[in-house]
Amino acid sequence: MLDGRDRYVWGITSALMALIANCHRDNKGRRLEPDDFNPTLTRKERRRNAILITDENAEIMRDEFQKCFVK
């Protein structure tokens, strides 16, 4: 649970840091992303943990969602 809270707080903090850095950069440099400042998550981890949504798994997710919230 502590790890989840750390990731959440760093997500907000890194978004603010990227916003400030992009406001003060020149237009010749690349745009900075929040992941550039977030020590808890790298780009490889984000891509590896991503789920590709297809027609088959969309139906499974809908069924599971209904089980959780519809009684």
pLDDT score recorded for residue 55: 81
Tokens representing 61? 């997710």
Of 53, 22, 26, which Cα lies nearest the Cα of 37? Answer: 22
Q: pTM, whole model, 2 decimals?
A: 0.55
pLDDT along the chain (71 residues), means of 10: 80 91 84 82 60 77 76 59
Q: Residue 7 and residue 16: Cα distance in Å, rounded?
A: 14
pLDDT score recorded for residue 48: 56
